[in-house]
Structure formats: structure tokens, C-alpha cells
Amino acid sequence: MQTELSTRLGIEHALFGFTPFPAVAAAITRAGGFGVLGAVRYTAPDELQRDLDWMEQHTDGKPYGLDVVMPAKKVEGVTEADVEAMIPEGHRQFVAQTLAKHGVPELDEGEASGWRITGWMEEVARSQLDVAFDYPIKLLANALGSPPADVIARAHEHGVLVAALAGSARHARKHADAGIDIVVAQGYEAGGHTGEIASMVLTPDAVEAVAPLPVLAAGGIGSGAQAAAALALGAQGVWTGSIWLTTTEADLHSRALTEKLLAAGSGDTVRSRALTGKPARQLRTEWTDAWDDPAGPGTLPMPLQGLLVAEAVSRIQKYEIDPLLGTPVGQIVGRMNTERSVQQVVDDLTAGFERAVDRLNRIVGRDQ
Amino acid sequence: MQTELSTRLGIEHALFGFTPFPAVAAAITRAGGFGVLGAVRYTAPDELQRDLDWMEQHTDGKPYGLDVVMPAKKVEGVTEADVEAMIPEGHRQFVAQTLAKHGVPELDEGEASGWRITGWMEEVARSQLDVAFDYPIKLLANALGSPPADVIARAHEHGVLVAALAGSARHARKHADAGIDIVVAQGYEAGGHTGEIASMVLTPDAVEAVAPLPVLAAGGIGSGAQAAAALALGAQGVWTGSIWLTTTEADLHSRALTEKLLAAGSGDTVRSRALTGKPARQLRTEWTDAWDDPAGPGTLPMPLQGLLVAEAVSRIQKYEIDPLLGTPVGQIVGRMNTERSVQQVVDDLTAGFERAVDRLNRIVGRDQ
């Protein structure tokens, strides 16, 4: 799986893996792919520093990247407390009622909420970048589109390529015009924030919209056949995320959640605003149902919803409250039925890719 | 584009084209694909007979098929009048108000509604089959899943393969167990009735669920790259529909509608219950917005909704009321930007397919 982009980055397979776990990101890179560490969960710069140190020690000098969540537009002087104050009391009550209904215990006194949304705030993302540019990262990806112009310039000064997620050809073009290097075209079937256009249509649309800039296809990709499909559509590589959640190197801090992912079918996800206020695909649970119920108060806009539910999500995860327990994940969850090592996932995917190409050669009437 | 299934059917390309227009279906077959004529708009058996006679004269002895809309479960003794009587008065008023708001004129006195839903009723579909089995059709497809067992048996007696549309692996398996021959896995991005699972995930799921039965991939396919993606995912062919709507042989009876399709982007469709009561992807219009508006009365279940809106849809189409004018179409509408002949679409698709395979061979490191 060699494309212009994989050659440029010096990786063996045009396979990019996004993950919040350093152990997974490093293993993807060691296996010949390109590991991208998600930074949204780091609120203190020294936590990120510690994990990037670890990445350095475990990637054999091979390239890896960082994924931040940074809005292109800056909102001046707004603190987390200001945002907290904008949350209506009725919504707080709805959270409390929904948790009480399922008997979800409180966190221990003084215990910090493990699931936090503060990484979404620009000042936090910027403090992460101050740390990250001290490391030899090769790619900076932004989950909320183009980063601000000064961040793109700073990345380029450090020889770091900039990637931005897009859900439509128009967004992809906008990101390209902002000066980014790679578009990640994230289809409807993807886990996390996603638009309504499916990968089969979005990938070629994005490729055409930003050519000759490279596009990575995201959404619905976990097997070699799916990678072959994405590359047939013109992508220069695949951007995967969900598939790594059930690898043996991943640590979801909840056996119950891992089991839920292994058992879920492709129809068991929902695109809901419950987690962040923007539509994000995740496991469908009684928690997402409560927020998506027309009889409920509905969700708040980003970043209010994320702040509103952060503690609740931490409690649900800590106490593994099964009917409410979920996570962002794509429709590919239906194929995540066994725990494999990262190396095994990479081996299966690259072997499946070759089989798919063999199959197409037979269909087109060529012998190999 | 040769697969086991295309060889079995004796066609040059594993490209199936569904269309309500005999001229398009015949041209697809003549071009080496497999034309499938949609029968839902025929209410009188002699209309279907006339068009199948025409097909016979214009397909050079090459194979073609018929698509009907037949529920697997029979509702005994229910007439169209019985169903009409179940429609609430408030819904009729909402239709009248919405039409009045846009100044939609009445049909002429005695003029029959051109857009009809009666083909959805089992007795109509059965009368179509009585006609169809007198012709050498090679495929009978059912848009509502498996046809009743006696219909499958009758098709097999006539040497006709039976195909059924499925939106999930579970449905696909159910159809296979009912004794059909081909599953059409219809992804979320498809025009018309469709589930929530996108083709990138649905196709391999369906292939695995019904193997060794062949699967045709539907949804999001209009180019050779998309056909290559679908076949990489394990499909034995592609099932296309939307892409033919803007061919020169198609006659939508409305230049305004053709222009709307040519101008629409991949984000201009919506999966709505407005037309039939079941979620069907179509152009997003003020008509679909009105039905999808939480402040409105909402849609009725199938077949009530279709009967309720039939006359209104005919009036909107006849008078080309632009804000309300729509049609079922998939997300691929974004690539339908020029009018081409059917032959040209087939040529472009098969050439694009070869280019996509060439590209994959380069990526996998093989010279041709």
C-alpha cells in the first residue's frame, strides 16, 4: 500500500491510525503505518509531554503525528467558567435525573472528571502545540477543520504536514485554500464528528475538489477490502480510528465497554449530538436516546454540551453503567468482533488489500 | 467487468441499471449492461405489456429484468379505497395548505394522477407478474425485500433469477433464507428506500452474510472508481439507478427537474418519509422540509403516505413548482452534472473502472 503520500512520509503502508492511546499509536507506526495520537484528552501540557516522550522511545525513529481539536475562529477572552455559566439549569437537571434513573453513583470527593472536553478550547490546544513542536512529529491533524493560519505557518516552519478533517467537498476545498497539506475526508459512516455524505460519494468528491492535494479516506474502513475501495476512489491513504479501539494495546479502562464494542453490529451506532453538541457517531445507548428524544430538552451547542455532560460521562464509564455506556465509534464496529494486536490488524488489512486487488484484476480480465 | 454473475447472465459488464424508462433500460442492455425496468408506475397490465413489447424489440436479444414492489406479507382483502379511508383529515388539509401556499394549480377535470402508488399494492404487483412471465425476462427484483414464496417459485419455474433489496446484513440473510438468488445491498447513500448503513460497511457485511450467494452493491455508484470500490468490497456487480436519470434517453417529463438534478450537489438530498411513508432518499425540497418539520403533522405509514401525496406530487411535477419539485435520487446526484447518452455512461464507467484497477496495481507495487 504505497502512494505518493506514504512515500513522502517514509512509511511502508498508506495506513493512518488515529487513537487516544500512545501504546496503539506507537504500535501502528512500528507496524509500518502512521500512528496519530489524539490530544483532546490532555488538559495539562506535562501529561502530553510525558506521552510524547514515551512515543519517542517506542517508535524506533519512525514517523507519527498528533491530532488536536482547534476551532479556526478564535473567541477572545472566553474562559471555561464563562462557558459553564451559559448552561441552562433545566439541562443540568435533566443530566441529574437521567443519572439518578439508572442509579449512577457520584465520583469520589475531589476526584477529577476523567472525560474532559477542555481540549476543545483553543487555548488548551495551543498549549498542546507548544509542547508538540518540541518533538519530531511529522503530521498535525485538526479534527475541527483548518487550524488558524498562524498554526499552519508554525507547523510548516517545523516541517510538519497539516491535515484537516472535512465532511463535504466544499469544506475540503476551504481547508485546501487555507493552506493545509492533506484533507481527511470523513464519511457519514465514521466514528466521531461526521457529516451526512457517505465515503463512497465523499472520497472522490473531495479528491476532485482539492487535487493535486492528497486526500485520506475516513469512515467505514477496517479491512483490506475497504482500504482497496478507498484507494480505488482516489484516496492516497486510509484514515482509520474505530478499528484500533478493540486492539490488545488499547485500554478503554472498562472491560464492559470493550465487550460492548466486540458485540455491537454495524446498525448499533447513532449520529448524535449527545456528546459534544455536534453530530458525532457513537454507540447507541439509553444515554444517546435520552438526548435524541423529542420529549427531552435536546442538546446544547458545542462546547456547552461537552461541558454539561463531562462529569456524567466519567461517572457512567467509571461505574460501567451498561445501558448508558458508550463511546464514539463508526459503523465498522460490526467487524470488530475479536481482540487483535495492532500488528495483526495491520497484517490482516494489508493482506486483505492485496486479495482485493487480485480480485479486481480477475474481474478486469487480467492475470497477475 | 466480468464476474461469475455477469457470466451466468451472459452480459459484458457486471453493471445493473434500474430505471423506470424502457428506453433507458433497453439502452443499458444494448450497451452490455443489464437493464432493469421499474414496474411501480404501471397500474394497468396492458401498459406494462406495451412497454415490454417495446423492450423485446429494442434489446437485440440481450437480457434484461423487471423490478416490482411487492410486500412479502399479504394483507387479505384490503382495497385501495379501504386504505384511502384510513388517512386522517388533518393530513389531507396539510397537503392542501402546503400546495395552496405555493399556488399549485389543480389537475384538469378527469385528469388522472400521473404519479401513482398503486403499484405498491400486492394485487397490482401480481397482475404485473402475470404479464411479465410471458416475456423472456432474466431477473425479477423486488424493492421491498423477498417476494412471497409462490412468486419466487414461479420465477424459478420460468428460469428467472430473483433479486431482493436489503439494507442490513440481517435482512440480506433473511432474503437468502427465503430462497432468492441475488441480494442487492442498498447503502444509506442510495436513492429511494434505504437504511442507515453506508455501502462501504454494508457491502462486505452482506457479502459475508449470504455467501456464496452473489451480492450487488447499490448506493453511491455512478463512476468507474465507485464500481471498482464496490467490487473490491466483494460485490459481484453494481446496481445503479440515479445515474441514469439525467441520460439523454431518460424522460422525466420536466425540464426543470432535469436541470435541478444537474445542478444538485451531493449534500442536496435527504432521507425522508415524505414520499412513501418509509425513509427514501430524494432531493431535499420545501415539500420534504414540510413533512420533516417537527411542527407539521408528520408522515403516515406506508402505504397511506403514498396515497395521500400521489395527486399532490403529480400537480407539483405537472406545473413544475420549483421549490417543491423533487424525485428520489442518491448522493451520487452531485456527479450528475452533464447529460450523457446511456452508452456514454457505460463507456465512462467501464473505462474508469480499468483506470481504478491500474491505480490499485501501482499502489500494491505491481506493474501490469
Tell me A334's DSSP state: G
Percent share of chain A, pLDDT over 70: 95
Q: Which helix (H) or strand (E) holds A232?
A: helix A224-232
Cβ distance of A357 and B354 shorter than 8 Å: no
How close B175 gets to chain A, by Cα (Å)? 18
> CA of A335: which chain B residue's CA is closest?
B205
The mean pLDDT of B105-120, rounded to a whole number, is: 73
Are B331 and A226 within 8 A, CB to CB? no
In the predicted model, is pLDDT for residue B315 greater than 90? yes
* Partner-chain contact B226 A200, CB within 8 Å: yes
Mean of pLDDT values over B322-343: 97
Q: Is the pLDDT of residue B118 over 90?
A: no
> What residues pair up with B122 in beta bridges, in sequence order?
none
Whether residue B117 has pLDDT greater than 70: no
- Measured CA to CA, the distance from residue B289 to residue B341 in angstroms comes to 33
Which has the closest alpha carbon to A90: A310, A297, A303, A299? Answer: A297
Give the model confidence (pLDDT) of B31-40 as tens digits.
999 999 999 8
Task: Give pLDDT tens digits for B143-179.
Answer: 888 899 999 999 999 999 999 999 999 999 999 999 9
Q: For A265-313, give the DSSP string.
A: -TTSEEEESTTTSS-EEEE--HHHHHHH-TTS--PPPTTHHHHHHHHHH
Region B245-258: mean pLDDT is 96
Res B80: pLDDT: 74
For the stretch B11-28, pLDDT in tens is 999 999 999 999 999 999
Return the C-alpha torsion angle A195, A200, A204, A207, nearest 10. 50
pLDDT band at A76 (very low <50, low <70, confident <90, very high): low
Residue with the larger pLDDT of the pair B236 and A302: B236
Task: Please check the confidence at residue A119 and state whether its pLDDT lies above 60.
Answer: no
Query: A262 pLDDT exceeds 80?
Result: yes
Of B2, B219, B357, the CB nearest to A200: B219
Domain architecture of chain A: domains with CATH:
4-363 (3.20.20.70)
Beta-strand relationship, A34-38 and A64-68 = parallel
User: In terms of residues, how long is chain A?
Assistant: 368
Grid cell digits, residue B367 = 506493474
pLDDT band at A308 (very low <50, low <70, confident <90, very high): very high
- Residue B73 pLDDT > 70, yes or no? no
How confident is residue A120, by pLDDT bands cut at 50, 70 and 90? low
Is pLDDT above 70 for B29? yes
Query: Band of the pLDDT at B114, cuts 50, 70, 90?
Result: low
pLDDT at B337: 97
Mean pLDDT of chain A: 93
For the sheet containing B269-272, what is the strand order? B192-193, B280-283, B269-272
Spatial separation of the C-alpha atoms in residues A32 and A346, rounded to whole Å: 8
Alpha-carbon gap, residue A362 to A357, rounded angstroms: 9
Nearest residue, CB atoms, A3 vs list B2, B170, B363: B363
Spatial separation of the C-alpha atoms in residues B52 and B59, rounded to whole Å: 10
Instruction: Say yes or no for a CB contact (<8 Å) between B266 and A197.
Output: yes
For chains A and B, what is the number of CB pairs under 8 angstroms? Answer: 175
Chain B partners within 8 Å of A219 (Cβ): 198, 200
- pLDDT, tens digit, for every residue of B205-234? 999 999 999 999 999 999 999 999 999 999
Instruction: Give the closest residue to A204 by CA, choosing from A181, A223, A179, A187.
Output: A187
Q: Supply the pLDDT for residue B302.
A: 85
Q: Which of chain A's residues have a Cβ under 8 Å away from the Cβ of B205?
A: 266, 334-335
Are residues B224 and A203 in contact, defined by beta-carbon separation less than 8 angstroms? no
pLDDT of residue A144: 80
Closest-CA distance, A356 to chain B, in angstroms, reads 5
Closest approach of chain A CAs to the CA of B357, in angstroms? Answer: 7
Q: What is the pLDDT of residues A157-214, one digit of tens each?
A: 999 999 999 999 999 999 999 999 999 999 999 999 999 999 999 999 999 999 999 9
Residue A71 vs residue B239, higher pLDDT = B239
**Which pLDDT belongs to residue A115?**
59
pLDDT, tens only, A344-356: 999 999 999 999 9
CA distances to A141, A211, A307, B194, B359 from A236, in Å: 16, 11, 36, 30, 10
What pLDDT was estimated at residue B321?
96
pLDDT of residue A126: 86
With cell 408522515, the residue in question is B299
Q: What is the pLDDT of residue A118?
A: 55
Count Cα neighbours of A91 within 13 Å in the Cβ-side half-sphere: 19
The alpha-helical segments, DSSP class H, found in chain B are: 4-9, 22-30, 45-57, 80-84, 89-101, 122-132, 149-157, 169-177, 199-210, 224-232, 255-263, 286-292, 304-318, 342-363
* C-alpha grid cell, residue A58: 517506542
Residue B96 phi/psi, 5-degree rounding, is -60, -45
Give percent above pLDDT 70 in chain B.
95
User: Which residue has better confidence, A187 or A75?
Assistant: A187
Residue A242, all three cell numbers: 474505530
Percent of chain B with pLDDT over 90: 83
Q: Which residues of B touch A267 (CB under 8 A)?
A: 168, 170, 195-197
Q: What does the alpha-carbon distance between residue A212 and residue A65 come to, in Å, rounded to a whole number?
A: 22
Contact assignment for A198 to B229 by CB distance below 8 Å: no
Handedness of CA A185, B352, A211, B329 (dihedral sign): negative
Shortest Cα–Cα distance, A12 to chain B (Å): 11
Are the beta carbons of B359 and A231 separated by less than 8 Å?
A: yes
d(CA B185, CA B259): 29
For B361, name the nearest residue in chain A, comparing CA atoms only: A357
pLDDT digit string (tens) for A147-159? Answer: 999 999 999 999 9
Structure confidence at residue B70 (pLDDT): 80
- Going by C-alpha positions, the residue among A168, A164, A329, A192 that lies closest to residue A258 is A329
